[in-house]
Structure 1
Amino acid sequence: MAQLAPIATAIGAGASIYGSVQQAQTQSASAKAQANAAREQEAARVAQARVQQSVDARAREQRLAGTLASTRARLAAGGISADEGSAAALAAGLERDAAAAQSDSDQVFAARISAGRRSLLNNDGSLTSWLRAGSTFGTSLRNLLD
């Protein structure tokens, strides 16, 4: 009977190691699935932000075009050439304001994109599982040698 104890311990250690390896593989597959889901969600969020940015840019361009056309028409009705003097300065100012608004929008877009970025340091649990399996194996081996 005393000779069966080390064999039983070795079989138990093997079963424990096998279970730990299976658990590590399951956790690794789960972590990969979660990472894929997170990447897909991030891609969808980025796509949505890009669409929103382009819609906002088009709306700003249309407002600028309308404002410039209206301003030119008013100036022309008043007998002032829209391409010279203070009228040209007014049009240039409107265009500068629109460019500044676009720049602000681009910065907000970049901030929104970078805010949702997952850290490369997020662990997926795979290394932890393998370390636990090694620890279990070491404990079993120590018990076997005692």
Structure 2
Amino acid sequence: MAQLASIASLAGTGLAVYGQVRQGQQQQVSTRVQQENLRQQQAAQQQQLAAQSAANERERQDRLARTVASTRARLAAGGVAPDEGSAAALTTGLKRDAAQDAAEDAAVTSARLAAGRRSLLAPDGSLNSFLRAGQSLGGAVRSLLD
């Protein structure tokens, strides 16, 4: 009779371990689905960020072209040659400022993209369920040996 009780106990432990392994597998599948959803969301955010950055760059270039054209027209209307001397320095300065703004925006965009990718490296914890199953199996075997 004692042997039957230990066999029943061992069978119960085996079923419990099997249940934990199945639960771990289901959790792993769920984690993979969540990671894929997160990856898709981040890809969409990165595409949106890239599109916004491109739109900002086009707007900045258009604004620069309008500002340079307006400045050159005012200088020419005042009798100053727009391609020489201080007028040329003024337009060069406007272009340099626009390039600096573009570089700063590119750095911010790169930082945002890098921050979005960093979260993909977060551990998913799918190994924990298997470790718990191994611990419970070890505990069951120890109790049977006692």
**Which amino acid is the alignment partner of residue 123 of structure 1?**
P
Residue 118, structure 1, aligned to residue 119, structure 2? yes
User: Does structure 1 retain, via aligned residues, the 8 Å contact 2:53–2:109?
Assistant: yes
Displacement of 1:118: 0.3
Paired residue total: 145
Residue number in structure 1 paired with 2:101? 101
- Partners in 1 of 2:34 and 2:133 — Cα distance? 22
Displacement of 1:141: 0.9
- Partners in 1 of 2:10 and 2:61 — Cα distance? 75
**CA offset digits 1:42-61 (Å, max 9, x no partner):** 11111111111111111110
Kindly report the root-mean-square deviation, in angstroms, between the aligned alpha carbons of the 2 structures: 1.2
Greater relative contact order, per chain length (Cα 8 Å cut-off, separation 6+): 1
**CA offset digits 1:76-110 (Å, max 9, x no partner):** 11222111111100110000110011011111112
- Partners in 2 of 1:128 and 1:95 — Cα distance? 57
Q: Which runs of 5+ in 1 are unaligned?
A: none
- Partners in 2 of 1:123 and 1:76 — Cα distance? 64
* Aligned-pair identity (%): 52
- Partner of 2:2: helix, strand, or coil? coil
**Which amino acid is the alignment partner of residue 74 of structure 2?**
R
Residue number in structure 2 paired with 1:137? 137
Displacement of 1:119: 5.6
Residue number in structure 2 paired with 1:58? 58
Alignment TM-score, normalising by the size of structure 2: 0.94
Displacement of 1:25: 0.1
User: Does structure 2 retain, via aligned residues, the 8 Å contact 1:20–1:129?
Assistant: yes
Greater helix share, 1 or 2? 2
- Partners in 1 of 2:26 and 2:36 — Cα distance? 15
Q: Which runs of 5+ in 2 are unaligned?
A: none
Displacement of 1:135: 0.6
- Partners in 1 of 2:88 and 2:3 — Cα distance? 102
- Partners in 2 of 1:86 and 1:123 — Cα distance? 59
**CA offset digits 1:8-58 (Å, max 9, x no partner):** 011011101110110110110011111111111111111111111111111
- Partner of 2:81: helix, strand, or coil? coil
Residue 37, structure 1, aligned to residue 37, structure 2? yes
- Partners in 1 of 2:120 and 2:41 — Cα distance? 15
